[in-house]
Structure 1
Amino acid sequence: MSIAHAPPGISAVSPSIPSGLEPVVPRSARRRPVPRWLRRIVGPGVLLALWQILSVTGVLHPDILASPGTIARAGADLIADGTLPSAMGVSLRRVALGLVLGGVVGIVLALVSGLSRLGEDLVDASVQMLRTVPWVGLIPLFIIWLGIGEAPKIALIALGVAFHLYLNVYAGIRGVDEQLIEAGSSLGLSRWGLIRHVVLPGALPGAMTGLRYSLATAWLALVFGEQVNADDGIGFLMNQAREFFRTDVIVVCLVVYAFLGLTADVVVRTLERLLLQWRPTFTGQ
């Protein structure tokens, strides 16, 4: 095949780009993208700046809400004298114990109910009935049954955790594709093999979702639990601050609750990325 040459006096140009013109580059491609972490802190930064301005100008009275600067100094003082780290350690221990206890109960009940029709008939109706009862309203009964020590606080956290894990693990088990079960059976997998290699991996996304909800509920239950006859922990600091109208200390405790909850959520998200690498998901555009 012969190659056609350009006539004399006419330069060879690309057939897709006219001579003398530069390729058009979208404006979005010419701009340097803003880092995502910077975009995420813009909103909180604007709110903090507005909060500080309202406090400095006197629009927001200190008795109603302390300024961010005052709150930061109060937090630094609580850290310096060891009060805040000690309270955080106590609260973390309570959440960890409640999470383990409630997690074991919720997962075991979900496995019994999800893997067997007989188990579902025996367990599911009772759990569905109990989960409609406001678990915060059980605090007086827990105090009567378990006293005023650590037990009622841990039991309250465990109760909230167990329901979330039960519902999500149960839904994950029952949501496994029936065709996968049939395919595993045709390959010769036993009942235990089907549970281990098909059902449990298929239910893992639901379990991770339940864990995220359970952690959020655990911190909420901790707030309620530490408001009742507590002599240490973050809730105890909040009660003391309320008696002396220390809004700065109260906000510090709320920030600590939020920070611990956010940290727990980051841990669960990391576990999801490690354990669910086989599942492609949409991450946004």
Structure 2
Amino acid sequence: MVRHRTRRLAPGRRLPYSRLAGPLLLLLVWSLGSVTGVVDPRVLPAPWTVVHTGAHLWVSGTLRTDIATSLWRAAQGFAIGLTVGVVLALVAGLSRTGEALIDGTVQINRSVPTLGLIPLFILWLGIGETFKVAIIAIVVYIPIYLNLYSALAGIDTRYVQLSEVLRLSRWQFIRQVVIPGSLPGFFVGLRLGVTGSWLSLVVLEQINATNGLGYMMFQAQNYGQTDVIVLGLLIYGIFGFVSDSVVRLLERRVLAWRHSLSS
């Protein structure tokens, strides 16, 4: 009997740029549909039309201002949400009192649609930039907290018992057991938080904004500029893809020891 061996690519041996295959295939289908006339340009403009529109807005300075504004809003909300999510997860995951006080509250917050809080936050914080950043922070902190807290709660009890046998100090226990055990869950939450910051920004920038990609798309809707709307969606998609790729790269670097052990 001949045995066939199946080769599997380890996580660290994936082909470079392989994640671009899907988006490039969609771009090819889109281009073919535009060339053959299958896709109505009034419904979905051709890729080259969108690129021409983007170049025109970039040269005029409008697109540069909108991109910079959106990046700044997303960065502020993400930084606050990341900090809050990590701190709450550590307190709840490392302390029974913290778990009793924090976890139930976060679970209730998780059940409330975040975008449904917009009217209340406008009354509390005004209709300026503050409420936008606050909503982004909430969208970001929830997945980071949930995944990091779950990772902390799921640390193998054998490692905890071993740390007690070795009489590790509190700091040694955190550094040698808690941090390595919780990093995989943290990166999962980080990826979800990064994506959430862009998703919420699309909606928030259409509420009393004077610049930003969402405002640009809202204005384009009023004037029937489909190419500008598609341009904004593509830029949001590119930002989301790039930020997720950066987190994945960081995850592979930080958790390289897991790959070496699995191999």
- The DSSP-based 3-state class of the residue aligned with 1:139 is helix
Name whichever of 54-63 and 194-203 sits farther off: 54-63
What is the rounded CA distance, in whole Å, between the counterparts of 1:147 and 1:54 in structure 2?
A: 46
Q: Deviations over 1:215-242 (max 9, x none)?
A: 0111111111111111111111101111
1:187 Cα deviation (Å)?
A: 1.5
Normalized per residue, the structure richer in helix is 2
Q: 2:84 aligns with which of 98, 105, 128?
A: 105
Q: Deviations over 1:73-131 (max 9, x none)?
A: 10111122222122111111111110111111111111111111111111111111111
Q: Flag the 1:137–1:281 CA change in 2: closer, same or farther, 3 A.
A: farther
What is the rounded CA distance, in whole Å, between the counterparts of 2:184 and 2:20 in structure 1?
A: 29
1:150 Cα deviation (Å)?
A: 0.6
Query: Where does the alignment leave 5 or more consecutive residues of structure 1 unmatched?
Result: 1-34
Name whichever of 94-103 and 185-194 sits farther off: 185-194
What is the rounded CA distance, in whole Å, between the counterparts of 1:43 and 1:276 in structure 2?
A: 26
1:144 Cα deviation (Å)?
A: 1.0
Q: Flag the 1:41–1:128 CA change in 2: closer, same or farther, 3 A.
A: closer
Q: Which amino acid aligns with 2:169?
A: S
Identity %: 48
1:254 Cα deviation (Å)?
A: 0.6
Paired positions, count: 249
Q: 1:123 aligns with which of 85, 89, 102?
A: 102
**Could you tell me which residue of structure 1 aligns to residue 51 of structure 2?**
72
- The DSSP-based 3-state class of the residue aligned with 1:280 is helix
Q: Flag the 1:62–1:208 CA change in 2: closer, same or farther, 3 A.
A: same
Q: 2:62 aligns with which of 80, 83, 99?
A: 83
1:279 Cα deviation (Å)?
A: 0.8
**Could you tell me which residue of structure 2 aligns to residue 180 of structure 1?**
159
Q: Flag the 1:274–1:85 CA change in 2: closer, same or farther, 3 A.
A: same
What is the rounded CA distance, in whole Å, between the counterparts of 1:107 and 1:75 in structure 2?
A: 38
Q: Flag the 1:274–1:43 CA change in 2: closer, same or farther, 3 A.
A: closer
1:53 Cα deviation (Å)?
A: 3.8
**Could you tell me which residue of structure 1 aligns to residue 134 of structure 2?**
155
Q: Which amino acid aligns with 2:221?
A: R
**Could you tell me which residue of structure 2 aligns to residue 62 of structure 1?**
41
Q: 1:132 aligns with which of 111, 129, 154?
A: 111
Asked which structure has the greater CA Rg, the reply is 1
Q: Flag the 1:76–1:37 CA change in 2: closer, same or farther, 3 A.
A: farther
Q: 2:185 aligns with which of 199, 203, 206?
A: 206
Q: 1:254 aligns with which of 218, 223, 233?
A: 233
1:190 aligned onto 2:169:
yes
Contact 1:63 1:245 in 2 (8 A): no
Using the size of structure 1 for normalisation, the TM-score is 0.82
What is the rounded CA distance, in whole Å, between the counterparts of 2:151 and 2:48 in structure 1?
A: 46
Query: Where does the alignment leave 5 or more consecutive residues of structure 2 unmatched?
Result: 1-13
- The DSSP-based 3-state class of the residue aligned with 1:262 is helix
1:189 Cα deviation (Å)?
A: 0.7
The structure whose RCO (Cα within 8 Å, separation 6+) is larger is: 2
- The DSSP-based 3-state class of the residue aligned with 1:278 is helix
- The DSSP-based 3-state class of the residue aligned with 1:199 is helix
What is the rounded CA distance, in whole Å, between the counterparts of 1:130 and 1:44 in structure 2?
A: 35
Q: Flag the 1:168–1:47 CA change in 2: closer, same or farther, 3 A.
A: closer
Using the size of structure 2 for normalisation, the TM-score is 0.88
1:193 Cα deviation (Å)?
A: 2.0
**Could you tell me which residue of structure 2 aligns to residue 114 of structure 1?**
93
**Could you tell me which residue of structure 2 aligns to residue 145 of structure 1?**
124
**Could you tell me which residue of structure 2 aligns to residue 94 of structure 1?**
73
**Could you tell me which residue of structure 1 aligns to residue 253 of structure 2?**
274
Q: Which amino acid aligns with 2:42?
A: D
